[in-house]
Amino acid sequence: MHSDHSLPSTLDLFAGEDRQPARTEQIGEQSYVLRGFALPWVARLLPALEPVLLQAPFRNMATPGGFTMSVALSSCGTLGWTTDRSGYRYTRLDPLSDQPWPEMPAVFRELAQAAAMAAGFSDFMPDACLINRYLPGAKMSLHQDKDERSYAAPIVSVSLGLPAIFLFGGLKRSDKSRRVPLFHGDIVVWGGVDRLRYHGVLPLNEGHHPQLGAQRINFTFRRAG
């Protein structure tokens, strides 16, 4: 197990488990996979996630087209992303409780900012963190993140638990997409000229992760408002 005594600064190149240099893979002009970047933070992320999920439990939302998403969602931050029969949008209240979404834990925001910085995006101030839970079989179809007020800020996407194949496409749905395996602790950041690239996740395979069991959890940080 990794120790957690020194959390990385935003300029720390040694963000991986066992203090190995984090490996950065460029997957677009302004898109990066930061391998293992979140590993030193996991021991603080998971306890912070618990009260968030008590307040705003995972739920399978309906799409405007009338399907139920296989990925279960929650959110924290001042804005939460929701979907129902009338469309996709950000809301200040959790429609399940009619209460504000849980506050974004400081450690979530700090990780998102550090990852954005490592990918060349300074001053990232996320106000929304979508929390996706994939059980085996769950998938996310190709889509663009375009419900945000501005596209100036990047998307920062943290993978925890079971591995998944991330699809990273182009600016048109029909563009060929690249398959990027994502593992526990990896972070993908895309922004700037790549901000509106299509992306998705292939159906999750069965498996068991030592810390998270038979699931993958993804945090997607955005500046939505």
Strand ranges inside 71-115, DSSP E: 72-77, 80-84, 87-91, 93-94, 99-100
Choose between 103 and 147: whose C-beta lies nearer to Fe ion: 147
Distance between CA atoms of residues 171 and 193, nearest Å:
9
Distance between CA atoms of residues 31 and 16, nearest Å:
19
User: Per CB under 6 A, does 74 bind ligand SIN?
Assistant: no
In the region spanning residues 118 to 137, those forming contacts with ligand SIN, defined by CB under 6 A, are 130, 132
132 binds, among ligand SIN, Fe ion, none (CB under 5 to 8 A by kind): ligand SIN
- Asked if 158 and 111 touch (Cβ cutoff 8 Å), the reply is yes
Q: What are phi and psi of 80, to 5 degrees?
A: -125, 145
Choose between 73 and 118: whose C-beta lies nearer to Fe ion: 73
Q: Which two tokens stand for residue 24?
A: 């950065």
For tokens 């790549």, what's the residue? 194
From residue 123 to residue 162, the character string flagging contacts with Fe ion as x (rule: CB under 5 A) and all else as - is: ----------------------x-----------------
In the region spanning residues 165 to 224, those forming contacts with ligand SIN, defined by CB under 6 A, are 166, 199, 201, 218, 220
Q: Which two tokens stand for residue 40?
A: 């030193």
Choose between 22 and 155: whose C-beta lies nearer to ligand SIN: 155
Interface residues with ligand SIN (CB under 6 A) are: 130, 132, 140, 157, 166, 199, 201, 218, 220
Interface residues with Fe ion (CB under 5 A) are: 145
